[in-house]
Amino acid sequence: MDDIKKDKRYNRLYEQLKTIVAKTDDPIAHMATISAVLYHKMDYFFWCGFYRLIDDKLVVGPYQGPVACQELEKHKGVCWAGVNRKETILVPDVEKFLDHIACDSRSKSEIVIPVYDPNNNVIAILDVDSKDLESFSETDQMWLEKIVKLI
């Protein structure tokens, strides 16, 4: 999908998500809704969901797509890099990311976005995988960073 089409689609989904999440304060409900809406409306999203940081462990949270790893080995892979660096990580080719964790070998590219609490502590990671190389751009980054702020 090109960036112009992505931008239009995200714009629409963002408005939709804003309305839905306003109905409750529960962050897990927000994560569930965000993963469902994104997965079903962005056709290049092969896996879309959250890993929550609980007692210094990254444990799978609400997600859509093929069955994922329950817990991610500490300080390894893209999600942990997002926690440790406190920044979005775009991975155009997962095989070139040194210690990438392959929950599903069909994933070829990935984007990881940290989710923060009001004190700027990371509480979770939004992780999106695609079956194609180089699926994610700065447009995905901009919109997904905006979307996780709804949590």
**Nearest alpha carbon to residue 1 among 132, 142, 147:** 132
- The verdict on 127 binding ligand SME (CB under 6 A) reads yes
CB-CB contact of 125 with 51 (8 Å): yes
- The verdict on 53 binding ligand SME (CB under 6 A) reads no
Angle separating helix axes 27-41 and 3-21, nearest 10 degrees: 150
Q: Give 14 or 65: the residue with its C-beta nearer to ligand SME.
A: 65
- The verdict on 48 binding ligand SME (CB under 6 A) reads no
What is the C-alpha radius of gyration for the chain, rounded to an integer number of angstroms?
Answer: 14
Distance in angstroms (rounded) separating the CA atoms of residues 95 and 86:
22
Binding residue (CB under 6 A) for ligand SME from 53, 79, 83, 148: 79
Binding residue (CB under 6 A) for ligand SME from 77, 109, 114, 126: 77
Interface ranges with ligand SME (CB under 6 A): 47, 68-69, 72, 77-79, 100-101, 103, 107, 110, 127, 129
